[in-house]
Structure 1
Amino acid sequence: MFKFTTIMQKPDSLIFDMDGTLWDAVDTYAHSWNVMFEELGIDKTINREQLAGMVGWEGKKVIEVMMPEFEPEKRLEIYAQVNEKRKILIPQMGGILYDGVIEGLEALAEKYQLFILSNCAKGVIRQFIDWSGIDQHITDEIAYGINYMPKNHNIKLLVDKYDLKNPYYVGDTAGDGEQSRIAGIPYVFVSYGFGETDDYDLKFDDFPSLTNYFVNL
């Protein structure tokens, strides 16, 4: 159910990626793009498969790939409008929580400080927390849209703010692993998400297995 690759110190906190790790909201995200394209008269659509391949990317890279025909300023303008539309759609459409996430976070919160750190727009993590009803389990959250900085930088912000001694980052892509390495913390890979990688310290194939491992450390 999991693979252990290196000897690591026991964690005092777990920092979770959101998309592909805690839930799958790709259909909602794609819909927000397509609704906005239609409203703006832009002859473009994006499907689930295309958007799923971009999950975990920083927003700047997403809009460069998705809208190469526009100037950077126009891309940012459209992206801001998409994110406003998303604020309306997420409470309505939500996403698909992965099996065991709610129960797992509740159990893990009894033993660790829990955080969510994602390359999403400002406000999206809070919407996810409110929609899923996990606020009481999450110490704090930080999104790329807060400061437009990479995950390694934002991991360090959480470490400094909460004086974390041995945090682990939990994610589903190779990029998550790279950012964990830069930040100097262990990387826990969940294989059920959107990415693939062989560079991790721990690997789990489902959330209950992850929960069981850390609860029993």
Structure 2
Amino acid sequence: MQKPDSLIFDMDGTLWDAVETYAQSWNNVFRDMGIDIVIERDKLAKMVGWEGKKVIREIMPDFDDEKRQQIYNTVNDGRHSLIAQMGGTLYDGVREGLKELATRYDLFILSNCAKGIIRSFIDWAGIDEHIKDELAHGVNYMPKNHNIKLLAEKHNLKNPVYIGDTEGDGQQSRIAGIPFVFVNYGFGHTDDYDLKFDNFKDLTKYFMELQG
């Protein structure tokens, strides 16, 4: 692989696992609204990486679009404070790896989450100084390939790569015309990648030693 000038990371399944926190944010709202739905971790884990509209159709099939969106907005409003309280599980080597990688690359986070969630994650993880910028699906409701291009244009990135954990991440990277790096410890599976890593420490080592 040609040495990139920037690394764009997916968040959920790539940098951390916060499914328990996300499930709690749904269940708190359903309980408070008297809605007879309980979201289990296993069900929600299968939806990690989906765009919001697809998630809410799956979780609330019996509601109309307006009601789904209203509930989803309430869930996300509460999710910010819940992330600060509960956090999630940062994958082994992520905090140290990002600090190291930031000495050689511009680092970004791009996720299909709601607006503000990436910032909540960055603050909880204490990695703000290492991340140059972030962009969530909830900002403009556009697919990842579009938002990858937006980040590239905004920051004049010449040779970015996208790092994620799902087949969809790979597909969106291909559409955007950039290499895809797959981490297989997350929530998804794919055979279509340019590089694959079993853990974040190996990923960090590879990119720190990459010449070019």
Please give the TM-score of this superposition, normalised by the length of structure 1: 0.96
Cα deviation for residue 87 of structure 1 reads: 1.2
**Distance in 2 of aligned mates of 1:200 and 1:81:** 36
Counterparts of residues 188-199 of structure 1 (less than 5 Å):
188-199=181-192
SS in 1 for 2:14: coil
2:21 to 28, 32, 49: 28
Give the match for residue 163 of structure 2: 170
- Partner amino acid for 2:34? G
1:204 to 181, 184, 197: 197
1:93 to 68, 86, 94: 86
Question: Is 2:188 the counterpart of 1:180?
Answer: no
Give the match for residue 142 of structure 2: 149
- Partner amino acid for 1:65? E
Cα deviation for residue 80 of structure 1 reads: 0.1
Give the match for residue 103 of structure 1: 96
1:65 to 58, 71, 76: 58
Question: Is 2:112 the counterpart of 1:119?
Answer: yes
**Distance in 2 of aligned mates of 1:121 and 1:170:** 19
- Post-superposition Cα deviations, 1:28-84, rounded to whole Å, max 9, x if no partner, equal 000000010000110000100000000000001000111110000100000000001
Question: Is 2:150 the counterpart of 1:133?
Answer: no
Which runs of 5 or more structure 1 residues have no equivalent in the other structure?
A: 1-7
SS in 1 for 2:36: coil
**Distance in 1 of aligned mates of 2:80 and 2:123:** 12
SS in 2 for 1:180: helix
Give the match for residue 5 of structure 1: none
**Distance in 1 of aligned mates of 2:173 and 2:45:** 21
1:37 to 30, 46, 67: 30
SS in 1 for 2:107: strand
Which runs of 5 or more structure 2 residues have no equivalent in the other structure?
A: none
Give the match for residue 9 of structure 2: 16
1:56 to 34, 44, 49: 49
Task: Tell me the C-alpha RMSD between the 2 structures.
Answer: 0.4
**Distance in 1 of aligned mates of 2:100 and 2:172:** 26
For these two proteins, the number of residue pairs brought into alignment is 210
